[in-house]
Amino acid sequence: MMLQHKIRDTQLERDQVLQNLGSVESYSEEKAKKVRSEYEKKLQAMNKELQRLQTAQKEHARLLKNQSQYEKQLKKLQQDVMEMKKTKVRLMKQMKEEQEKARLTESRRNREIAQLKKDQRKRDHQLRLLEAQKRNQEVVLRRKTEEVTALRRQVRPMSDKVAGKVTRKLSSSDTPVQDTGSSVAAVETDASRAGAQQKMRIPVARVQALPTPATNGTRKIYQRKGLTGRVFTSKTARMKWQLLERRVTDIIMQKMTISNMEADMNRLLKQREELTKRREKLSRRREKIVKESGEGDKNVVNINEEMESLTANIDYINDSISDCQANIMQMEEAKEEGDTLDVTAVINACTLTEARYLLGHFLSMGINKGLQAAQKESQIKVLEGRLKQTEITSATQNQLLFHMLKEKAELNPELDALLGHALQENVEDSTDEDAPLNSPGSEGSTLSSDLMKLCGDVKPKNKARRRTTTQMELLYADSSELASDTSTGDASLPGPLTAVAEGQESGMNTETSATSARDKELPPPSGFPSKIGSITRSSSLSEKKLPEPSPVTRRKAYEKAEKSKGKEQKQGIINPFPAAKGIRASALQCIHIAEGHAKAVLCVDSTDDLLFTGSKDRTCKVWNLVTGQEIMSLGGHPNNVVSVKYCNYTSLVFTVSTSYIKVWDIRDSAKCVRTLTSSGQVTLGDACSASTSRTVAIPSGENQINQIALNPTGTFLYAASGNAVRMWDLKRFQSTGKLTGHLGPVMCLTVDQISNGQDLIITGSKDHYIKMFDVTEGALGTVSPTHNFEPPHYDGIEALTIQGDNLFSGSRDNGIKKWDLGQKDLLQQVPNAHKDWVCALGVVPGHPVLLSGCRGGILKLWNVDTFVPVGEMKGHDSPINAICVNSTHIFTAADDRTVRIWKARNLQDGQISDSGDLGEDIASN
């Protein structure tokens, strides 16, 4: 409007100027034209500006209209979100009500069951009482029958001589009736054993009545009753003793059970108190974060998830506490029912002879129990003294070790830096609350051995099984000699160190000891390098040799062995595997074996020409399948190489160790071009240095990466770390987001591509669940699962593989399940497919056959369509860790440090074509 007014003013000014020019005498046409043209230019510029402002006004109006529409849509979406939250709250309340109802129903059912058990125990108790009464009646009846029989035999008179002897024996004693009865019973027992029962025929009329001292009046007890009743008195005393002993044992067991239950109750109460404190702490932290940054913060979401998990744990502990309380009440009720046998009444009903019998047994039992308690106390004192001596010795050896290290650190700056770094790591590990409890000397021993390796004093690990390194092995080089000396009880070792060695040997893992025994018995395969034979020979020689040499001699011998070992070290090679005789119908045949790793092979990947293997020896080896030779070894990993993948499109190799993913370019040479971390950081070159420490040190903020997978086009990498899966864009080498939803660590994953270009990621976790994620190209941030496969496994998921529209999952519950990816339903399952964990799955190339490997070293084949077993064989003598296939062969990696290469044969349409004895095949394999 101001511009329009200005235009009008300019026009009026122009007209006025022209009019004034016309009235002036010196008027000229040129001057008027010039003035008019100037004013026309001004007006034209103002009109253009006016048009521009009008266009901007229209655009502004349109934007205001669009903004109002967006605000309406936003309000509608907010209303929808509020409705969904209300629905969620309502559903949660309904779920809690249903859970409460189910819990009440379960508790009522448990009470009914407990009542029925109580009634059953009462009936059983009454039945036992009736049976005992019946037995007592039978005993009384038998005794009466024997008395009648004896009286009938005594009808014939016996001589006065014998009668006089018996009468004298009976009348000469002035002791009470019970003592007399015992002696007479002994006489009668001896007479009956000697066969003189027929000679002692005392007539009933001649039996004299003996005077019996009694406090409550005088009674006459005939001696014949004493003679016959003494036998049954001893039986009654024996029965009463057995009854009392059984009752005492039951009371002790009941009290022990109740004390154990109370200890469990106290432990659960402490756990609940700790979890409640943690939840309150998280709640305060969440309130603080909400005040600072609002509800939308990621930390608030994570804290909410953690609080939900803590609440679930507290509910579980509350259920356990209620179960424990119910069990304690049930035990108390059972004890009250069992108290129907009154011990005091049984003791009061005893005669003097029975009381003496019971007292003697009680004395012997008390002496035995006291002896056992004294023996246990002495053993405990001996063990405490040995423990103190071990601690003193350990402290002394550690001081010596660190003095030696400090001397060497003055000359070696790398050792000085590593010593400080390792000490810092030890402090951090000791202050970590969630760290597992190790043995007192294991951590320091590991640190010391790592530092010794850097100094050049590396000792050869020629031992058949893992065991804790002792301080003597740290100070002196040869560990095999020390092991043999400690095992044979060499007298040259000090007493405390011998005790340490014994404690370590006794505390070893039974599984590893069993494995070592098996390895000792089995001869090495023909294709193995001669290195294994030299190890066994050296260990046998060390067992046979005589007294331990001095430390200087051992160190010199070790340096010679180390030099010779460095000369003899060879590259890996793929050798032909000799076929076993008598195989007629083997579904798979092992044709080659790859040897070269120093420790267990954990992962494997392959193409038609190359093979990639990762091992516990912290290397990834690349093999040429055409020549059968090792091409290169990718080292410098901080710990075990747990996963390896090769990208055909970029010729890049991805290796995983702890929380790092190393990216190798193998086209020119084995060069690490980038290092990716579990937290999403990218570093050019090799950012994680190789570590000689046996302990896994993961930096703060990072997680252990368990497995990686590439999408079919090679543009995205998915890494399972912790409870999530991180997505990596390999075109830019940037982390684009995470796949979340699992409550436990993600152990395995597999990637497929849908027809519309989306990546389909299937993940398996320790929380027993399998989840599906659909990831479109360019997806950023947190991605939630699109489906959760139900029902879950009974234990953690170890392996996943996709074949067509079917998904196969192997678990630690020894079972395999087959899922339909289209319908997302469970099609078939084999609950006990193996006798141990199912660790690896694969599909036989060119055949509709699924291959599964377990921790026991067994390979099994299954028909993909019918899911029936096709074959079974012994793949390895140790756990199978991974299965990989290319277009023609199958590769299995195991703990025996080898990779076996298999070829399918005799398979047609998922069945064995040749009719052979499968059991013979398994035995020969």
Query: Where does a domain end: 141, 160, 189?
Result: 141
Query: Where does a domain end: 122, 141, 160?
Result: 141
Do 253 and 349 belong to one domain? yes
Of 689, 778, 674, give the one whose Cα is nearest residue 733.
Answer: 674
Q: What is the mean pLDDT of residues 74-103?
A: 95
Q: What is the pTM of this model?
A: 0.43
Do 117 and 11 belong to one domain? yes
pLDDT of residue 421: 54
Structural domain that includes position 10: 1-16+35-141
Do 283 and 306 belong to one domain? yes
CB neighbourhood size of 586 (10 A): 24
Do 342 and 263 belong to one domain? yes
Of 637, 767, 658, 652, give the one whose Cα is nearest residue 706.
Answer: 658
Q: Which 3 state secondary structure label does DSSP give 757?
A: coil
Bridge partners of 645, per DSSP, are 654
pLDDT of residue 171: 41
Name the least confident of 164-178, 573-587, 604-618, 734-748: 164-178
Confidence class of residue 755 from pLDDT cuts 50, 70 and 90?
A: confident
Residue 703 lies in a domain: no
First to last CA, the chain: 99
More confident residue, 361 or 201: 361
pLDDT of residue 915: 40
Q: Which 3 state secondary structure label does DSSP give 606?
A: strand
Do 373 and 244 belong to one domain? no
Backbone angles phi, psi at 848, to 5 degrees: -80, 60
More confident residue, 598 or 20: 598
Residue 439 in this model has a pLDDT that exceeds 80? no
Of 647, 652, 699, 690, give the one whose Cα is nearest residue 674.
Answer: 652
Residue 315 in this model has a pLDDT that exceeds 80? yes
Contacts of 678 (CB under 8 A, 6+ apart): 659, 660, 702, 703, 704, 705, 719, 721, 722, 726
What letters, b where the CB count within 10 A reaches 16 and e where it falls short, cover 177-215?
bbebbbebbeebeeeeeeeeeeebbbeeeebeebeeeee
| pLDDT tens, position by position, 250-308 | 888 888 888 888 888 899 999 999 999 999 998 988 888 888 877 767 788 888 888 88
Residue 194 lies in a domain: no
Q: What is the mean pLDDT of residues 589-609?
A: 94
More confident residue, 862 or 548: 862
Residue 920 lies in a domain: no
Do 117 and 84 belong to one domain? yes
Helix (H) and strand (E) counts for the chain?
Answer: 17, 35
Residue 372 lies in a domain: yes
Contacts of 799 (CB under 8 A, 6+ apart): 748, 764, 809, 810, 838, 839, 840, 841, 852, 883
More confident residue, 89 or 696: 89
Contacts of 246 (CB under 8 A, 6+ apart): none
Do 355 and 392 belong to one domain? no
Mean residue pLDDT of the chain comes to 77
Contacts of 550 (CB under 8 A, 6+ apart): none
Query: Where does a domain end: 353, 385, 409?
Result: 409
Name the least confident of 185-194, 258-267, 406-415, 705-714: 185-194
Do 3 and 129 belong to one domain? yes
Do 347 and 405 belong to one domain? no
Residue 1 in this model has a pLDDT that exceeds 60? yes
Do 303 and 397 belong to one domain? no
**Rounded distance between C-alpha atoms, residue 131 and residue 406, angstroms:** 81
Domain count, the chain: 3
Please give the distance of CA 777 from its chain centroid, rounded to a whole number.
Answer: 37
More confident residue, 5 or 473: 5
Residue 130 in this model has a pLDDT that exceeds 90? yes
| pLDDT tens, position by position, 522-545 | 444 434 333 334 333 433 433 333
Do 282 and 401 belong to one domain? no
Residue 428 in this model has a pLDDT that exceeds 80? no
Contacts of 170 (CB under 8 A, 6+ apart): 180, 184, 208, 210, 223
Confidence class of residue 58 from pLDDT cuts 50, 70 and 90?
A: very high
pLDDT of residue 895: 95
C-beta of residue 892 within 8 angstroms of C-beta of residue 875? yes
Residue 922 lies in a domain: no
| pLDDT tens, position by position, 207-261 | 333 333 444 443 433 334 444 444 445 778 888 888 888 888 888 888 888 888 8
pLDDT over 70 percentage in the chain: 69
pLDDT of residue 480: 42
pLDDT of residue 767: 94
Strands 660-665 and 652-657: antiparallel
Residue 274 lies in a domain: yes
Residue 356 lies in a domain: yes
| pLDDT tens, position by position, 336-360 | 665 555 667 777 778 888 888 888 8
Residue 891 lies in a domain: no
Q: Round the CA-based radius of gyration of the chain to a whole number and report it.
A: 45
Q: What is the mean pLDDT of residues 399-421?
A: 73
| pLDDT tens, position by position, 805-859 | 999 999 999 999 999 998 999 999 999 999 999 999 999 998 899 999 999 999 9
Do 77 and 108 belong to one domain? yes
| pLDDT tens, position by position, 787-812 | 999 999 999 999 999 998 999 999 99
Query: What are the start-end ranges of the E strands in 785-843?
Result: 787-789, 797-803, 806-811, 816-820, 825-830, 838-843
